[in-house]
Structure 1
């Protein structure tokens, strides 16, 4: 699409938002062209996706899949219907089918050992296999010692957060590059957690890992749109220039959304070739 003042072909992607926790109408005035909601009641977010503000593209996971009593089932901020407690493979089959029927393009699992039980390897692998049959990649909230490290082995396609509870070893970071994407969400942290996350992401990027811009919008006081603090944190972690544009995943413009940016429509978790940054 071209206009008299230039070629208008794309907008940025936030790969981690929670639209039930913000006023989504405010997205229409920002620089985002697409958002990925990683945890909302499926009917509510599907309604938003069907009639998006300002023509922004909304993809979503629907409800968190979590063990009985797992995160975020005990969180006051979690909207009604925004999680499903999974007790066995049959429950996983039903939940994944429900999310697919609602229009989900990914499945979100919670694996937060600091806040409750987490799935064992067998059940989490079963969820990944079920989701794969439905054509849905699995994204994981992995928090607590060892949780991020086991996700690639179990077939998870992306981490919803850069690991922030522990510093991964260089060998662990290298093992993740080329196997799983990391969604940044650096700016939500302060102090030691932020330092750990920035350090982990810096080394993951240096090993050629696939980084995706995401803010966890709805978590704390953040701008509803492109977050300069997240962009600055990515630069601090060494994700700059063309690498930063790749992390932001510009998408094609529509009649409603016009941007003077290079565009590419892509699977947001398609892994990039591993090229080490020196």
Structure 2
């Protein structure tokens, strides 16, 4: 019960990694608050674990302030922020529209910035912590994903700034960079691979995109949530500004040596 008495505010908590974090933190005693634009998937999670749903856009400061006012009224101050909302921004620069670029900025970077800014008074008072969920796309560049890659790099930088600026006030910030994770959002990308290569299933697509990953498979949402919950706990009290990859070893592979592999 390492989160007993703690309130966790999780964005993008209706599916995938966010939902897995919510379930794990609730199992470990946390009071869970889920924020997102679609109420139905959030309520599906809280039906199983309890908690509070606050519907709204995590990039909208007014919506986040209203959400936090409701949290304060019904539960109390926030101890942990998991800035998990993200997505969008796929496509090469030459064809990327202003709208797609702006959406990538809003969904990945603005959500983290606005929620961190609005939660910081609580986090400072409670000596809480922030977990920014970025991606290995925040460390390296995937193909034809200029918006997503740029904003995930920015999320890493933002997490570093938070760690630098608020560590002395007792607020830890750490950054998690997952590789491929078997989620509904990743399944959509796998369908692109299925169509492109004429594969028979999404499972085949996952095997293809992880063929050069040392562990040879995608992560599960629960495997990523285990790492997030660790760094958000008192067990990681000396971790601040850390960047943790949860990618099966993908980022240790030296690409120019792949030609030597059978």
TM range, smaller chain: 0.3 to 0.5
Higher relative contact order (CA 8 A, sep 6+): 1
| TM-score normalised according to structure 2 size | 0.38
